[in-house]
Amino acid sequence: MPSEPIRYVTKVDLTKPGDQQPQVHNRWHPDVPFSETIKPGETVKIECLDWTGNQIKNNDTADDILNVDLTRIHYLSGPFNIEGAEPGDALVVEIKDVQPLERQPWGYCGIFHKKNGGGFLDKFYPEAAKAIFDLEGIHATSRHIPHVKFTGLIHPGIMGTAPSAEVLQEWNSRESGLIKEIQHAHDMAVANAPLETNAHAGSADAELAAKIAKEGARTIPGRPENGGNCDIKNLSRGSKCYFPVYVPGAKFSVGDLHFSQGDGEISFCGAIEMPGVITIQTSIIKGGIEKLSLKSPIFIPGDVQNHYGPSRYLTFEGFSVDEEGKQQFLCATTAYRQACIRAIEYLRKFGYNDYQIYLLLSSAPIEGHVAGIVDVPNACTTIGIPMDIFDFDIGPEGGLEKQDMGNCALVEGAKHELIYEYK
Amino acid sequence: MPSEPIRYVTKVDLTKPGDQQPQVHNRWHPDVPFSETIKPGETVKIECLDWTGNQIKNNDTADDILNVDLTRIHYLSGPFNIEGAEPGDALVVEIKDVQPLERQPWGYCGIFHKKNGGGFLDKFYPEAAKAIFDLEGIHATSRHIPHVKFTGLIHPGIMGTAPSAEVLQEWNSRESGLIKEIQHAHDMAVANAPLETNAHAGSADAELAAKIAKEGARTIPGRPENGGNCDIKNLSRGSKCYFPVYVPGAKFSVGDLHFSQGDGEISFCGAIEMPGVITIQTSIIKGGIEKLSLKSPIFIPGDVQNHYGPSRYLTFEGFSVDEEGKQQFLCATTAYRQACIRAIEYLRKFGYNDYQIYLLLSSAPIEGHVAGIVDVPNACTTIGIPMDIFDFDIGPEGGLEKQDMGNCALVEGAKHELIYEYK
Amino acid sequence: MPSEPIRYVTKVDLTKPGDQQPQVHNRWHPDVPFSETIKPGETVKIECLDWTGNQIKNNDTADDILNVDLTRIHYLSGPFNIEGAEPGDALVVEIKDVQPLERQPWGYCGIFHKKNGGGFLDKFYPEAAKAIFDLEGIHATSRHIPHVKFTGLIHPGIMGTAPSAEVLQEWNSRESGLIKEIQHAHDMAVANAPLETNAHAGSADAELAAKIAKEGARTIPGRPENGGNCDIKNLSRGSKCYFPVYVPGAKFSVGDLHFSQGDGEISFCGAIEMPGVITIQTSIIKGGIEKLSLKSPIFIPGDVQNHYGPSRYLTFEGFSVDEEGKQQFLCATTAYRQACIRAIEYLRKFGYNDYQIYLLLSSAPIEGHVAGIVDVPNACTTIGIPMDIFDFDIGPEGGLEKQDMGNCALVEGAKHELIYEYK
Amino acid sequence: MPSEPIRYVTKVDLTKPGDQQPQVHNRWHPDVPFSETIKPGETVKIECLDWTGNQIKNNDTADDILNVDLTRIHYLSGPFNIEGAEPGDALVVEIKDVQPLERQPWGYCGIFHKKNGGGFLDKFYPEAAKAIFDLEGIHATSRHIPHVKFTGLIHPGIMGTAPSAEVLQEWNSRESGLIKEIQHAHDMAVANAPLETNAHAGSADAELAAKIAKEGARTIPGRPENGGNCDIKNLSRGSKCYFPVYVPGAKFSVGDLHFSQGDGEISFCGAIEMPGVITIQTSIIKGGIEKLSLKSPIFIPGDVQNHYGPSRYLTFEGFSVDEEGKQQFLCATTAYRQACIRAIEYLRKFGYNDYQIYLLLSSAPIEGHVAGIVDVPNACTTIGIPMDIFDFDIGPEGGLEKQDMGNCALVEGAKHELIYEYK
């Protein structure tokens, strides 16, 4: 009888850096050794570190965000040997649950400094900031963003199968091509090439670890072939996800758990980041890549997302005219940025400063939609804010009154502007 | 007692071209004469032509789509004088209802030829195509896309207030800037400059009409200042929308009604286009532009959108690696196109051809989300297809069986490929 | 090509009493002549009178409610000959739409006098009252219940197939049995036996009409065998309903349209009653009674009900301890009445009187659930009120402030109490 | 900084009977000693025993159900001293989470024997039966009811404040009145009078325990004054509940956790019963009983209930004509029973036996609505079954094919009928 507690295939240590823990790794590579074996049909629990591997603390300064070491991130649990999975199959992962760890009932959302990570709005908000969220059951609240409480649409930021050598080669070639082509025109990294510094190859021996460090793909981007860091907020509890399998055993990895996130995860470290535990059950569709035309993962969400009713979303429109008033051509990225800016300008009225709002739009269950993508020259996108997460009425016909909203965590001695004057 | 039928402020004639009907117009300009006056608080009905002004017919050929005259489109009802609205105010428009006309219970979705309109996927699907939808109450079905039935999230594609002379000047300057800068590199129009041909200035006299024709902004793009052709599918029944007012009386116009549309309206003429009637009630927030920081329209949707439950959406992921395998930089537009392509490749399995699927993704209540927008170099977007609109199981663990799906309407004698072979 | 307007199979006249209109009838009987034939697969429109056949007016007195003639009600459109339907089949009716008539954009909700109709709470609220609702698109508002606006979950109160002679006999026997058994203990009718007065047998000739008048079952109750006056608010647009067929051609009838209704329709004339038009499409499942074990109708609702999100319902609990403090045994009816009373006591705080609230609970989209039905001796039920239908915060932690709420329509010169003092 | 794990105010032992654990109790009485103190605003975790105090085992026989000792049930955690709560206040309890215990990832649903507990349908299904559910994250599945999986709408069956001496007196008088009046006509207990046998007064000393045993109200029924065993499935995660306070410190108790339950909890032990942990946060509204007219608890559900979309519910209608064909008068209880029977007859077609279906309707997220309650003589209720909990199509137009569905757990050597032949 299945009366036993569900088996843990990974446990993590919150007191040690990620690279001292061999059951996690931070590169995509076909040769990272299996950390455990999972049978199809078996339900297992997997603990995961937060994405920085314990670098961020529960306090009121953003110094740790400012100084975060971005070579030491994305410690993924796994890779797991899914018994019987072979190249050409589809790996089905059903997310039975995601929870914060009972021993650490808090998470954080960070705005990274423009020179160390940046984010979607770093042009306007270049400084580091942080909000700590207390996680109590299904609810998150933050002393740094008062008068807000919401239910987390909890999910893993990263899930993926390992690339084959060929797929890995394609990634490295594709991304180095971009670096060659456009890096000169940007002051931030446009992509991250393989990097030996602080590569963590799980339980690999020295020789293998060196190979993986040299060749392994970085974990920042999601990629069409295997998913990875997709940051899809709706991949929450109950979701069933279909991944292409490229190597024997699938080598499935998971990490970067989020208690909640807005569409776009705009501040980069923009979800409520946390260590936690994910419960999954797997199955295999033989020959699934061909059967499902599976070039990228597909999924079916679960049936318990927080739902506020459509009429509870205050919705802002954004178009591809940028903040300088310059017309961009059908650029949904610009349009989405504009929608975010409109929301910031609006929410300021209640006393929040821009950094607080930026953190909130990143971490709360914000809906970001593509609206129109063909009406030259303007793409149109929308961003919908669930009004019920506030304990006062933010509607246009509510009181529109300013309150004392305190502040988010800033760096020690910060004196920079907290409001950006858009034209 | 308010026992009288609701007042019509516009009626349209489905047997005459739009430019012979003075109660509609097709340019944004501060001087288009008022067509009618509406008091705040009064509920009124406004009939609207379909966006082509009766050019498209209910038949099985796409010849009318191929030959559509794109200088004769977007005949908007209005502009209306909202009594008491002044520059600086916010105009509140509550959509009480949108309905097809009882006298024409059908609509259409078109794929425009690459050389005459084009669309989001015209690189792959350059030919004209069409699907006719029968509109019966809340349901749409099409003989051109069998085994599908869905409830329309009915809405106006276009609503907006008139620009002031200054705003109009800004538009023309901004868009002509883009034309100068990048038109040479595109084989399709990147923006549409003012055009005298077939400009329709409503009831303006000849002199004024000539001025409007010369200066008036084209209606294709939505614009941040006044909304316009936003094609936001969620602006459906019950929505309350807040527009900036730039001219006395607001000069609100509305048109381009859609029985249903997918996020993105990807085939350009991609909604179920129809003539129809919209019922609205207006109010005014004095000084609303400043009170609400209203640089672009904002809205709150109604409470009756079709809702299938989150677990009923088969969801495809798209990344900013284009169809040639080339890495683009955080481009949500590319990512959304890729998500669409993934959905097409999948739905083919059931016997639909690519043109049918392209029409379906354009017109059905498809959800298009921005997922991750900061994970260099890949933006990630998703497209969710409600499985309940099919009368068979499209799930990855359903039968995946091919059926005879007939065809959409093509041009007379068409012999082109109906499937595009992606790499 | 199906370009023609949808065919009307019934039109009604709002200026004449129901019994002067041969295309409607008000008895269930196998011999009422067909009013029209409908082919399976054909979509048709059916106009319906309001349930009183034009007896109630849009004014500010409840005199018409007080004096309503209850022998002249429930004029049903039909019966329709569904081509090919035979006894033993299941008739499938898909509701494509329900709309008020454009020529009468209002409806009413009435509290019937205890001596002329009564209602669920007539012990406390014996007097007649009325609220007129203006119907504007999807929205209803009432000058008699201010500060409330809601979207109608529009539906027919009555749909059903005709009984066979045997089924009719069973009804008359079963209900007359109840009358014999318990009528003596009640001061209101516990059931309505066949009644010749004002029976309306549609287009029947005099002889047949006399027979139908004598034998025909009354329309007040819903019945397990054929549905009838079920007053199920969720049988709204998009619903697909499966009825047993007892006579050749099914003899389907429909009427008593409701713009909106709360679960229970507690004030008896408790929905927003209106004339209107319903659009349906039918099909037949041969042998469906046996195939589906179809002793009573079953249905699948549509996908566009108003949805407010679960967290927007203020919910009251009711138990089977009656208003005298007497313990009843597992009586869900008592429990539901208590839940209603709790809601009334609460909503009074905002300035509404009990009659207004009684009307509101009857007509708004209130959710009434059976919660626990086995915990002796108490049944527990709940009643959920969508908070979003009010334009102020009714939550327990909102302001709880009294406003001037005017009054509903009462009878001329009414001086009775508007508040009942519960223990 | 709130970095510490959330405090447990109750832990339970799954290896010992409930009455050996002083932190729980099984009577409602003002004098049960406080088990712990909770400060308003503090979030705490409370472990709870399953309602039988560990009597039921994870195996394939219903012998434990048959022989369950019903004097040893409902061991409630508490009562808790909510600091500062005084008679006349309202106690606000926000449910932050409910979870099964990691150490026991299963629960059960039982049909009690007609002579030992019974249930809503015990007339037809008098024998004991059981289904064990495996609880994996948000999902429940049962080897005893195959082809079904659903997300639990997890909740406490019992929450309540302690009665004052006066309220307790009222309960005992009210319920003993019922016993006197109608017990003679029933073969099962119509109510449970105070009983000294196996009364458990928490940590009370012998003298006090004897008093409580003698006077304390039994826990089976919910009651209007304090809630108690309401079995409201929607009182799930995120719900905020308002209770009247009758004694200093409120003496709040909680227990009888349910992983999932259908409206009505029809088989009596009809939820998925489990030990577990509930996380709550409390606050106090001073004078709340008067402020809120709080005669019975009220609540606002959370925002994360499982939602399948309205069009995913196969809905059965039930009327107050009983299974003998006898007409009952406006009896919602009869009507709900009939709706249940209709659902059983239908679901049999797929191979389930009646006991399996009875267990399923009890435990799955079934919607039970009051539809019409005024149309003499028939009440009408509905029961909606979410079709998505089955891994095959149960719709009337699906295949309707019989499968091998195994069996639920029955008593050792059971030979009784598994299907009841309704007329």
Would you state the structure tokens that stand for residue A236, as one six-digit string? 């929450």
Distance (Å, whole) CA A173 – CA A178:
9
Look at C376 and D221 and tell me if their CB atoms are within 8 Å. yes
B318 and chain C in contact, CB less than 8 A? no
In this prediction, the answer to ipTM > 0.90 reads yes
Which of A147, A312, A387, A390 to probe the C interface (max C CBs under 10 A)? Answer: A312
- Asked if D149 reaches chain B (Cβ–Cβ under 8 Å), the answer is no
Subunits with 3+ Cβ pairs within 8 Å of D are A, B, C
On whether any CB of chain A is under 8 Å from the CB of B309, the answer is yes
| pLDDT tens string D9-28 | 999 999 999 999 999 999 99
The CA-based angle B409-B412-B418, given to 5 degrees, is 55
Q: Does B42 touch chain C (CB under 8 A)?
A: no
Q: Which of residues 191-210 of B touch A (CB under 8 A)?
A: 191-192
Contact D253, D76 (CB under 8 A): yes
Q: What is the pLDDT of residues A47-56, one digit of tens each?
A: 999 999 999 9
Listing DSSP states for A30-92 in one string gives TTSPPSEEE-TT-EEEEEE--TTSS---SSSB-HHHHT--TTS---EEEEEEETT--TT-EEE
HSE toward the beta carbon, residue C138, CA cutoff 13 A: 29
- Per the DSSP assignment, residues forming a β-bridge with C130 are C110, C409
Average pLDDT value for chain D = 97
Across A226-246, average pLDDT: 97
Residue of chain A whose Cα is closest to the Cα of C395? A391
In this predicted structure, the answer to whether residue B129 has a pLDDT above a threshold of 80 is yes
What confidence score (pLDDT) does residue D13 get? 98
> Between chains, do D396 and C285 touch, taking CB under 8 Å as contact?
yes
The answer to whether A352 faces chain B, any CB pair under 8 Å, is no
Cβ of A238 and D105 within 8 Å?
A: no
Mean pLDDT of A296-307: 94
How distant is the Cα of B377 from the closest Cα of chain C, in angstroms?
37
Measured between beta carbons, the chain D residues lying within 8 angstroms of A43 are 136-137
**Distance of residue D5 Cα from the nearest chain A Cα, in angstroms:** 5
Q: Is residue A79 reached through a cis peptide bond, with omega within 30 degrees of 0 on the bond before it?
A: yes
Q: How far is A99 from chain C (nearest CA, A)?
A: 22
CA distance C25 to C212: 10
| Contact: C307, B307; criterion CB under 8 Å | yes
Burial readout D179-203 (b: 16 or more C-beta within 10 A, e: otherwise): beeebeeeeebbbbebeeebbbbbe
Q: Which residues pair with C243 in a beta bridge?
A: C91
- DSSP track, B315-358: EEEEESB-TTSPBPSS-HHHHHHHHHHHHHHHHGGGT--HHHHH
Nearest Cα neighbor of B333 from A335, D210, D15 is A335
Residue B141 sits at the chain A interface (C-beta within 8 Å)? no
Among candidates A300, A313, A318, which has minimal Cα distance to A365?
Answer: A313
* Residues C174, D319: C-beta atoms closer than 8 Å: no
Contacts of B388 in chain D (CB under 8 A): 309, 311-312
Instruction: Tell me the whole-structure pTM to 2 decimals.
Output: 0.97
The two counts, helices (H) then strands (E), for chain B are: 6, 22
Query: For all residues of chain B together, what is the average pLDDT?
Result: 97
pLDDT attached to residue D1: 47
Q: Tally helices (H) and strands (E) across chain A.
A: 6, 22
Mean pLDDT by 10 residues, chain C (423 residues): 84 96 98 98 98 97 98 97 98 98 98 96 98 98 98 97 98 97 95 97 98 98 97 97 98 98 96 98 98 97 91 97 97 97 98 98 97 96 98 94 97 97 90
Which residues of A, range 381-420, sit inside 8 Å of B by Cβ? 381-382, 384, 395-397, 400
Q: What is the pLDDT of residues B20-53, one digit of tens each?
A: 999 999 999 999 999 999 999 999 999 999 999 9
* Whether the predicted pLDDT of D2 surpasses 80: no
Tokens of C377: 């001796």
* Domains recognised in chain B with CATH numbers: 8-300 (2.60.120.580), 313-410 (3.10.28)
CB-based contact B136 C279, cutoff 8 Å:
yes
What whole-number distance in Å separates Cα of residue B206 and Cα of residue B192?
Answer: 23
How many of the other CB atoms lie within 10 Å of CB of B186? 11
Q: In chain B, whose CA is at the least distance from the CA of C281?
A: B136
The chains found to touch A (3+ Cβ pairs under 8 angstroms) are: B, C, D
Distance between B325 CA and the closest CA of chain A, angstroms = 8
> pLDDT band at B1, cuts 50/70/90?
very low
User: What pLDDT does residue B41 have?
Assistant: 98
Chain C residue nearest residue A312, CA to CA:
C308
For residue D33, pLDDT beyond 70: yes
For A120, which DSSP code? T
What is the Cα C193 distance to its own chain's centre?
Answer: 20
Structure tokens at C422: 């519960």
Among the listed residues B171, B113, B187, B105, the one whose alpha carbon sits nearest the alpha carbon of residue B138: B105
Report chain C residues whose CB lies below 8 A from the CB of D382. Answer: 232, 234
Q: Given pLDDT bands bounded at 50, 70 and 90, which one contains residue D307?
A: confident
Report pLDDT digits (tens) over A144-188. Answer: 999 999 999 999 999 999 999 999 999 999 999 999 999 999 989
Over residues A56-77, mean pLDDT: 97
Confirm or reject contact between C187 and chain D (CB < 8 A): no
Contact D151 A303 (CB under 8 A): yes
Asked if residue C276 lies in contact with residue C99, where contact means CB atoms within 8 angstroms, the answer is: yes
Provide the β-strand partners of residue D156: D257
CB B354 within 8 A of CB B348: yes
| Residues shown for chain B | 423
φ/ψ (deg, to 5) at B420: -100, 130
Window B:248-277, CB contacts with D under 8 Å:
none
Q: DSSP letter for A252, please.
A: E
Token digits for B114? Answer: 């690459």
Which tokens is D12 given?
A: 């339970």
Rounded to a whole number of angstroms, the distance from the CA of B308 to the nearest CA of chain C is 6
Q: How does residue A1 score in pLDDT terms, banded at 50, 70 and 90?
A: very low
- Residue ranges of alpha helices (H) inside A257-353 are 288-291, 332-347
Q: Describe chain D by its helix, strand, coil percentages, rounded to 5.
A: 20, 30, 50
What average pLDDT score do residues B248-273 get? 97
Using a CB-CB distance cutoff of 8 angstroms, which residues of chain B are in contact with residue C3? Answer: 58, 104-106
CA distance C94 to C109: 27
Residue B423 pLDDT level (bands cut at 50, 70, 90): confident
CB-side neighbour CA atoms (13 Å) of B96: 22
Q: Give the DSSP H or E segment for B108.
A: strand B106-111
Q: What is the pLDDT of residues B150-181, one digit of tens each?
A: 999 999 999 999 999 999 999 999 999 999 99
The pLDDT tens digits for B204-230 are: 999 999 999 999 999 999 999 999 999
Touching check for D139 and chain C: CB below 8 Å? no
For B308, the 3-state DSSP assignment is coil
Query: Nearest CA of chain A to the CA of D4: how many Å?
Result: 7
Q: Taking phi first (over 0 means left), then psi (-120 to 50 degrees means alpha), and beta for anything else, what does residue C11 get?
A: beta
- Sequence-separated contacts (24+) of C213-218 with Cβ below 8 Å: C213/C27, C215/C29, C215/C168, C215/C172, C216/C27, C216/C28, C216/C29, C216/C32, C216/C168, C217/C27, C217/C28, C217/C29, C217/C163, C217/C168, C217/C171, C217/C172, C218/C27, C218/C28, C218/C192, C218/C193, C218/C194
Contact C176/D at CB under 8 A: no
3-state DSSP assignment of residue C251: strand
pLDDT at site B399: 86
* Smallest Cα distance from A367 to chain B, Å: 8
CB contact, 8 Å: B54 with chain C?
no
Interchain proximity B3–C104, CB inside 8 Å: yes
d(CA A334, CA A261): 20
